[in-house]
Amino acid sequence: MIDHLYRALADFLLDIKDSNNEPLIRHVALWNRQVDFLETEGTFATPAVFVQFLPMQWHQLSQGVEEAQLQLVLHLACTTKASAKSTDQFKDAALQRFYLLANLHKSFVSFTRSGPSWMAGNPERLSLDIDHDHSELTDDRITYQLPVADASACPQADWISKLIHPQAQGSFRTQL
């Protein structure tokens, strides 16, 4: 299920457009401390989003169907040499990452996806951690929680998409 969810997340993030109908995000990958190890991880186009899945607590519902409140961190990596000092001529460029954070959140709250044996959606923002200790690459982090359901252990896994509406709020348990 996580592989399908990650692919859906990556496709969704790469499809977000800015006000000029240009891609907001230029690179998506799984988090592997890329910002900390640029020498070994190599270069990537920015702005980039790295997806970090936090540990999950699964709860058995019935017939091989499980649910969890998935927490994930979206690491927004941006390059900047500009300063946000009020007298800096490049102040607007330095503050561009806040525009990106706002638009990333505005788009991501509508994320809802499902497959024959899984569902995820309706992210809730839990925290925002602005990187105040960076050189030329920032790592701002937004933590989200979203309900997920996995029926891959169920022989009739395709029924999950018929029983649980993709726009379900909160726990999937109330939908069964």
- pLDDT 10s digits, 79-118: 876 555 555 555 666 678 888 999 999 999 999 999 888 9
Question: Given a cut of 50, is residue 165 above it in pLDDT?
Answer: no
- pLDDT at residue 58 tops 70: yes
Inform me whether the pLDDT recorded for 26 exceeds 90. Answer: yes
pTM of this structure: 0.80
> For residue 174, what pLDDT is reported?
46
Looking at the predicted structure, is the pLDDT value of residue 41 above 70?
no
Q: Determine which helix (DSSP H) or strand (DSSP E) holds 128, and give its type and residue range.
A: strand 124-129
What value does the mean pLDDT of the chain take?
Answer: 81
Which range scores top for mean pLDDT: 14-23, 59-68, 149-158? 14-23
Tell me the domain boundaries of the chain: 2-139+154-175
CB 38 within 8 Å of CB 46: no
Structure tokens at 84: 């946000």
- For residue 6, the SS3 value is helix
Most confident segment among 99-108, 128-137, 149-158: 99-108
Position 124: which residue type?
E
pLDDT, greater one: 153 or 162: 153
Q: Which CATH number fits domain 2-139+154-175: 3.30.450, 3.30.70, 1.10.3470, 3.40.50?
A: 3.30.70
Residue written as token pair 């994320």: 111
Closest C-alpha among 172, 45, 24 to residue 106:
24
pLDDT for the residue numbered 135: 67
Q: Does residue 2 contact residue 21 with C-beta atoms inside 8 Å?
A: no
Q: Which of 139, 1, 158 is nearest to 67 (CA)?
A: 1
